[in-house]
Structure 1
């Protein structure tokens, strides 16, 4: 599995305690957390579909389920915060910013509205507020 390894041992030690752990309940064996996280990282690095994930990481359904659950409960946000803080403390993050103030003008006929006396109205029902909505 070393061929597919994405996280160093130092990186793994930073996030290991944030990931799901076995509950001790009977049933299907608990997936190896590092293997699943490596699979999720591999999927995002390569841009492949979940179904095309290599079997070395386990079933693609497990990868997708773990990713969805950790996204919903905020685990990925916490992982990102911790890794960013560690990289910043090590001086590996450059916080310089570039702000672009480019203006892209569109022709008046490029809108999806039409002009009537007294103002603009939407052409599409989907853009109108529901009746009785405040």
Structure 2
């Protein structure tokens, strides 16, 4: 793999903090995919909002990245990483976590956007005008129909 740093990949300082928090490979002596490439692949997928199969080959096999992300989600590795990284946060913010959201990606469900429809019992009754009695061509323009 090409280890040149891409714009949004983990820096060396970030990797030094993150590496001890990751689990060891499941099988002894196993040469699996690099954890750093997998994490960069997960970050890329979240940023690009692409499917797992559309993941660039720079991050390894998409199935490896997916399986490891899923396994770490189920066994609590991502939660442990988040807790470890939050221990150094500024204590003036209190015990609550600060959550940042990008308003460009926040969407509202369609019924929340449209005007609510009033209940059936208070809807105004809409009546249609009665059609003219004689609608034959030419009869509509007689003086009696005015």
- Bin the TM-score by the shorter chain: 0.5 to 0.7
Moved segments of 4+, more than 4 Å: 89-97, 106-110
RMSD: 3.3
Total equivalences in the alignment: 100
The answer to whether the 8 Å contact 2:5/2:11 transfers is no
Q: Provide closer, same or farther for how the CA distance between residues 96 and 60 of structure 1 changes in structure 2, counting only shifts above 3 A.
A: closer
Match of 1:78 in 2: 80
Is the counterpart of residue 16 in structure 1 residue 13 in structure 2?
no
The answer to whether the 8 Å contact 2:38/2:65 transfers is yes
Is the counterpart of residue 60 in structure 1 residue 62 in structure 2?
yes
Runs of at least 5 residues in structure 2 that lack an aligned partner in the other structure? 100-111, 121-146
Q: TM-score, normalised by structure 1?
A: 0.60
Comparing both structures, which one devotes a greater share of its residues to strand?
1
Deviations 1:72-124 (CA, angstroms, capped at 9, x unpaired)? 000000111112223x1598999679xxxxxx9x77859xxxxxxxxxxxxxx
Runs of at least 5 residues in structure 1 that lack an aligned partner in the other structure? 98-103, 111-134
Match of 2:37 in 1: 35
Point out the structure with max Rg over C-alpha. Answer: 2
Q: TM-score, normalised by structure 2?
A: 0.55
Q: Provide closer, same or farther for how the CA distance between residues 11 and 21 of structure 1 changes in structure 2, counting only shifts above 3 A.
A: same
